[in-house]
Amino acid sequence: MPAADFVVVANRLPVDRVEGPNGEEVWRTSPGGLVAALEPMMRSAHGAWVGWAGQPDVALDPFEINGIDLVPVPLSAEEIADYYEGFANDTIWPLYHDVIAPPQYHREWWDAYVRVNRRFAEAAASVAAQDGTVWVHDYQLQLVPQMIRELRPDVTIGYFHHIPFPPHGLYAQLPWRDQVIKGLLGADVIGFQRAQDATYFLTAVRRRLRYEVKGSSVTVPTDDGGRRTAVARAFPISIDTTPYKELAASPEIRARAAEIRASLGNPKKILLGVDRLDYTKGINHRVKAYGELLEDGRIGVEDVTLVQVASPSRERVDAYVHLRDEIELAVGRINGDHDTMGHTAIRYLHQGYPREEMVALYLAADVMLVTALRDGMNLVAKEYVATRADNHGVLVLSEFTGAADELRQAVLVNPHDIAGLKDAIMRAIEMPPAEQSRRMRALRRRVLENDVSAWSASFLQALSDVRRP
């Protein structure tokens, strides 16, 4: 494999091992906005993607799929438990999402995180071409920028943080708080979803390391007694709008949306939630608000149905096991109290679906409920908007998502305020078509103009500006 001018480093490679037509195992690319955004760049510059292939205890040689060179990083089952499920998903994830669940601090998890981050950094350093560019992604790999810089001072390093960065009062809990920000500062550009996240990060840098911060620039001392500049600012991520627009226009998908409505008994209004089953997404708050509206008699099951897709996620982490129990208990109670033979209150689906079915659901939904308690961006909100070509439909959106900074014409809510959330749902259900259309038009303009390729272009531009000012 030749040296790569452009290297992406992410926890997962953009592929899954699936069963082929003759029962044999084959690789299939997993569709995602990130892959779509980076594919053109990966092909034109010679590109490589470094990440875990998704199977524990398997060592694989680099291979190519659809013109992208993939460099698998092996992880043992124990490392997945300690580095990924442990430190990434049970320490950093809850701490960075406002401690909605209590973060667990374990020194063995941290040790595994350091060890695995070093392995990713070594893999990236060994494939990057002289003076190449490396783009590291997300909270699983916060130490990688600095580790790559030590190994390969010639390369330009970018880092993008997909989740929130917490206020200093919370960040300060982290026993390894100085090491983590030093790790991130190894990058030339550190990208965040919201301006607020960048501000919190810069505050941590000033308070903990006492480095000089001016605007979005940090002066970082180097080992040889010199100094360099790192830039930390917001680059709100978006979606690849093309497949959503195309699927939404397809007659088969439109027919499927009508079929979904019919199978729910053709209620007047369908409310929809689509989330990974995660405590940050506010699924329980949404279910509670909807249940109370039924209880209060403000809506009836014949008229308004809630469809909730909660796709399985992190099922070996305790907090997720408990969350699932809580949600399913609440849904079961509400359905038990309110269902009729012909109508269900909540159609709850603990399943993952192909993208075609997701788009059919978006088309069938009159109201999209995004009630996250904290969310880096929330792409579901943008996907819903991208599919609403007729400018109908209402997005109810939590203020605590990155998307709320951009999607100001949504019905914005504080999901902790159940009374306010109930009123917002009623307002969405009753919103006149002219108002829906005025809001949706503005939302669509925003999402379609700022798609994921605009996002990656602006990040890469900032990266080349900082390296060659």
Q: Binding ligand GDG by CB under 6 A: which of 40, 221, 352, 420? A: 352
Query: Rounded to the nearest whole angstrom, what is the least distance from the CB of residue 205 to ligand GDG in the complex?
Result: 22
Gyration radius from the chain CA atoms: 23
Q: Is 375 in the site for ligand GDG (CB under 6 A)?
A: yes
Binding to ligand GDG, residues 292-321 (CB under 6 A): 309, 311
Query: Rounded to the nearest whole angstrom, what is the least distance from the CB of residue 237 to ligand GDG in the complex?
Result: 4
The label of the residue with tokens 């203020």 reads 399
Count residues near ligand GDG (CB under 6 A).
Answer: 19
Query: Rounded to the nearest whole angstrom, what is the least distance from the CB of residue 190 to ligand GDG in the complex?
Result: 15
Q: Binding ligand GDG by CB under 6 A: which of 11, 133, 216, 378? A: 378
- In this complex, which beta carbon is closest to ligand GDG, that of residue 134 or of residue 372? 372
Structure tokens at 184: 């991130």
DSSP SS3 for 188: coil
Stretch touching ligand GDG by CB under 6 A, among 1-9, 82-90, 329-337, 377-385: 377-385
Distance CA(121)–CA(141), nearest Å, equals 9
- In this complex, which beta carbon is closest to ligand GDG, that of residue 373 or of residue 428? 373
Instruction: Please name the residues in contact with 255: beta carbons below 8 A apart, sequence gap of 6 or more.
Output: none
Pairing of β 15-19 and β 25-29: antiparallel
- In this complex, which beta carbon is closest to ligand GDG, that of residue 33 or of residue 47? 33
- In this complex, which beta carbon is closest to ligand GDG, that of residue 71 or of residue 360? 360
Q: Is 355 in the site for ligand GDG (CB under 6 A)?
A: yes
Query: Rounded to the nearest whole angstrom, what is the least distance from the CB of residue 225 to ligand GDG in the complex?
Result: 37
Query: Rounded to the nearest whole angstrom, what is the least distance from the CB of residue 93 to ligand GDG in the complex?
Result: 9
Q: Is 397 in the site for ligand GDG (CB under 6 A)?
A: no
Q: Is 413 in the site for ligand GDG (CB under 6 A)?
A: no
Q: What are phi and psi of 11, to 5 degrees?
A: -55, -45
Binding to ligand GDG, residues 144-173 (CB under 6 A): 162-163
Distance CA(85)–CA(184), nearest Å, equals 21
Distance CA(142)–CA(180), nearest Å, equals 6
Give the per-residue contact string, 209-248, with ligand GDG (x = CB under 6 A; - = no): ----------------------------x-----------
Stretch touching ligand GDG by CB under 6 A, among 205-213, 251-259, 292-300, 352-360: 352-360
Q: Binding ligand GDG by CB under 6 A: which of 8, 75, 358, 462? A: 358
**DSSP codes, 298-333:** SS-TTTEEEEEEEE---TTSHHHHHHHHHHHHHHHH
Nearest to 441 by CA among 404, 406, 409: 409
Instruction: Please name the residues in contact with 56: beta carbons below 8 A apart, sequence gap of 6 or more.
Output: 75, 76, 77, 80
Q: Chain centroid to CA 99: how far?
A: 18
Stretch touching ligand GDG by CB under 6 A, among 110-118, 254-262, 379-387, 415-423: 379-387
Q: Give the sign of the dihedral formed by CA 153, CA 38, CA 49, CA 43.
A: negative
Q: Binding ligand GDG by CB under 6 A: which of 232, 380, 404, 466? A: 380
Burial 183-198 (b: 16+ CB within 10 A, else e): bbbbbbbbbbbbeebb
Q: What is the 3-state secondary structure (H, E, C) of 84-129?
A: HHHHHHHHHHHHHCCCCCCCCCCHHHHHHHHHHHHHHHHHHHHHEE
Q: Under the rule (CB under 6 A), what is the footprint of ligand GDG?
A: 162-163, 237, 274, 276, 309, 311, 352-355, 358, 375-380, 383
